[in-house]
Amino acid sequence: MDKIYVVYWTGTGNTLEMANAIGEGVKKAGKEAEVVNVSDITVDQVKGATKLALGCPSMGVEVLEEGEMEPWVAEFESAAAGKTLALFGSYGWGDGEWMRDWVDRMNGAGASVLNGEGLICQEAPDDAAKAECVALGEQLAYA
């Protein structure tokens, strides 16, 4: 499967902005990207993908969004082994705990998380944060 999916959940659009910039980076590297809301794609559809970007903001108290993203990620755990993942998301007032937990979880499921950490950004990404997202998309495409 050549297409690289950038699967995200967003409440107010910040993580979507990150997702779009990551998709832009994938395309810049010459690969096809599909930026897709988690509610519009099943885990089955990404089972054949060797690399994937997943994004979700910090919600609840330092957890993934619980209505859509958390159940999707829980199901994805059994399909994650051997995949290369770019994890990303926006946060507000925390210290990134939700992302560290998510990275540990995905590594525990046998995936390889690029750079050993997720790309996080406080609230809306500024130009510098968007540039980091573009670079992450390129890195994922070349990985």
Ligand X SMILES: Cc1cc2nc3c(=O)[nH]c(=O)nc-3n(C[C@H](O)[C@H](O)[C@H](O)COP(=O)(O)O)c2cc1C
| Contact between residue 29 and residue 137 where contact means Cβ atoms under 8 Å apart | yes
Q: Binding segment for ligand X among 31-39, 67-75, 86-94, 110-118 (CB under 6 A)?
A: 86-94
**CA–CA separation, 70 and 83 (whole Å):** 19
Question: Please, what is the minimum distance in Å from the beta carbon of residue 119 to ligand X?
Answer: 13
90-119 binders of ligand X (CB under 6 A): 90-94
Token pair for 131: 């540039």
14-73 binders of ligand X (CB under 6 A): 14-15, 57-62
Q: Is position 12 an interface residue for ligand X (rule: CB under 6 A)? A: yes
Exposed/middle/buried for residue 101 (C-beta within 10 Å: 0-12, 13-18, 19+):
middle
Question: Please, what is the minimum distance in Å from the beta carbon of residue 61 to ligand X?
Answer: 5
**CA–CA separation, 50 and 68 (whole Å):** 23
Question: Please, what is the minimum distance in Å from the beta carbon of residue 108 to ligand X?
Answer: 21
The residues that touch ligand X, with contacts defined as CB under 6 A, are: 10-15, 57-62, 90-94, 123
